[in-house]
Structure 1
Amino acid sequence: MATTNWTIDPTHSEIGFKVKHMMFTNVSGKFNEYEATIATEDDNFENANIEFSANIDSISTNNTDRDNHLKSADFFDADNFPKLTFKATSLTKKGEDYEIAGDLSLRGVTKSVTLPAEFSGLMKDPWGNTKAGLNISGKINRKDWGLNWNSALEAGGVLVGEEVKLNIELQLVKL
């Protein structure tokens, strides 16, 4: 089988997340700078080799003070750990979609995660490029990677939720 290489189309992709704020609303954010190398056997994504990284300094929640706090040692500690990385260990077909498992590294801590991945199929764009779509969702607990900062609320509860909901929309381009 021939190896097919893919890259992320950054103009049609988003590496997003949501976290509860004050126990009742979500704050959304994303990483604006990221890269990936993806290799498949022909156009079959099962058992694809996927390596991904995002620059922590590119985090954006539409609030400069909050973004700077997230980059600080209270959270991601971007000065010491400038990248978030993910290396897939398996991509398994589940019906029409996939389940992606791999090692997620943040703040020098690596943990295995398994996330559902919705496969949108293959399509040629108007310029003849073959594209594939993947939507990766799921949840992680930020404390598993040492992102422990929080503040108690006067009425009970905490300022920042532990659960992080992932919403990763990827449009891949065949190289």
Structure 2
Amino acid sequence: MPTPLPAGLTAGTYAIDATHSTASFSVRHAGIAKVRGTIAITSGAVTVGESLDSSSVTAVLDAASVNTGDANRDGHLRSADFWHADERPTWTFTSTAVKADGSDFVVAGDLTINGVTRPVELATEFTGTATDPYGNSRVGFESEVEISRADFGLTWNTALETGGFLVGDKVKIALDISAIKQA
């Protein structure tokens, strides 16, 4: 039996509004603090079917747009040590399944970072609908996932004199999505 849509969510194609959507991340630095940053979502779509099972999501992110608040660190992240942003400027996500998880849902799919594709599952919450001042019908979602840098070939690191490594392996990614229904 198909899984019904959350209350208020209607079938249709919604274009991700890049100016009102964010992708943020956090990773341990020197084992004691977290570095946080953002990466621009440049495009994508949420296609809502008649049920969750027939829905899908795509998103494209710009690796060169990284912003951690430190220009030197951002440059290092764009370099061949990490993201190879000149050679591999985009990250992509393409869903393979959408399924209910209590009152929320999980969006499973293929995440490509640095030219490496791995399956991930995003814990997702439907945050509601709104009509903006321009008459656009909007939907909102929040998603989170934790990935391993090593799974995506992001292995640059340096050992610390006190033990451990400078950059943690686990990266938490959070998405806040606002999407506009297309005619």
5+ residue gaps in structure 2?
1-9
Residue 149 (str. 1) matches residue 152 (str. 2): no
Q: Give 4+ residue runs of structure 1 displaced > 4 Å after superposition.
A: none
User: How far apart in 2 are the matches of 1:30 and 1:158?
Assistant: 23
| Matching residue within 84, 107, 116 for 1:77 | 84
RMSD value, Cα: 1.7
SS in 1 for 2:72: helix
> Aligned pairs, how many?
173
SS in 2 for 1:58: strand
Residue 28 (str. 1) matches residue 40 (str. 2): no
SS in 1 for 2:55: strand
Alignment of 1:1-175 (within 5 A): 4-41=12-49, 45-175=52-182
TM-score normalised to structure 2 length: 0.88
- Classify 1:145/1:84 alpha carbon distance in 2 versus 1 (closer, same or farther; 3 Å): same
1:107-138 Cα distance to aligned partner (Å, 9 max, x none): 22111011200111222233332111111112
Q: CA deviation at 1:153?
A: 0.8
1:39-74 Cα distance to aligned partner (Å, 9 max, x none): 2226x5543221111111111111111111111111
Q: CA deviation at 1:3?
A: 6.0
Identical columns (%): 36
TM-score normalised to structure 1 length: 0.91
Contact 2:23-2:41 at 8 Å conserved across structures: no
5+ residue gaps in structure 1?
none
User: How far apart in 2 are the matches of 1:78 and 1:121?
Assistant: 34
Contact 1:99-1:116 at 8 Å conserved across structures: yes
Contact 2:60-2:90 at 8 Å conserved across structures: yes
1:16-35 Cα distance to aligned partner (Å, 9 max, x none): 00011110111111112521
User: How far apart in 2 are the matches of 1:87 and 1:129?
Assistant: 25
User: How far apart in 2 are the matches of 1:28 and 1:38?
Assistant: 26
